[in-house]
Amino acid sequence: VLEESSSRDDIQVVLSSLSNAYSSYVTTYEEYQVQRYEGASTMYGPHTLEAYIRQFEMLADNILLREDVDPGLEPANLLGQQFSFKLNVMFDGVRRGKKFGDVIDDAHPRYRVGSIVKVSFVSGHPRNDMMLERSFLNVERWNNDTETWDVVATDGNWETKYYWKRTNTLIGESISTVIWDIPSNTKPGRYRIRHFGNSKNILQILKSYTGNSREFDVVL
């Protein structure tokens, strides 16, 4: 765009580090011949880079001329033709007197920074809902100013772990265990662990549930 533009004052180039992730690796022709990891992961052959450059030049011209681009053909949706050797989740169940989200092994009343919190819940199978863009767990801290619970960690944080185990196949019983390795920079305060999931009954109907640990103190 800069090369083709007659005026460079109003051009701002933005590079996104995520862009390459959408098409895997793109190597030069010479790198492709070696067929190491990067070359073998270049999806469209040894001339991928040249083809991309040609397309980018075309897109740059369209941007400068403010012209629409023909989107071309959409790739075929082959999801319905994929094979899966994983068995479907049949159903989830609980023992008498229990319900999904109930705490089995609860948190202790107090922990020091650097120690480990471990809480187990009655749960459904995690494949009922993969919780994409969400979380199977929250670590929450009580905010005295707003009188609300603030999320300080999810299953995407290094200091948390989420384990699931089928404990009884006959009745579909499962346990989910949440572990929080309290970081050294954690603020003292009142905390709790929450677990989120979905259960599937014998009629294949999904129902969401939430489980909460007891509140506990984190001290220095």
At 220, list the tokens: 């220095």
Tell which residue, 14, 13, 20, 76, has the closest CA to residue 52.
20
Cβ-contact 136, 126 below 8 angstroms: yes
Nearest-angstrom CA–CA distance, 35 and 13: 32
Query: Chain centroid to CA 94: how far?
Result: 28
160-167: long-range pairs with CB below 8 Å, 24+: 162/136, 162/137, 164/123, 164/125, 164/126, 166/125
Q: What is the dihedral of CA 153, 154, 155, 156, to 10 degrees?
A: -80
- 22 labeled binding residue: no
Q: Annotated binding site for Zn(2+), which residues?
A: 25
Q: Which segments are annotated as binding site?
A: 25
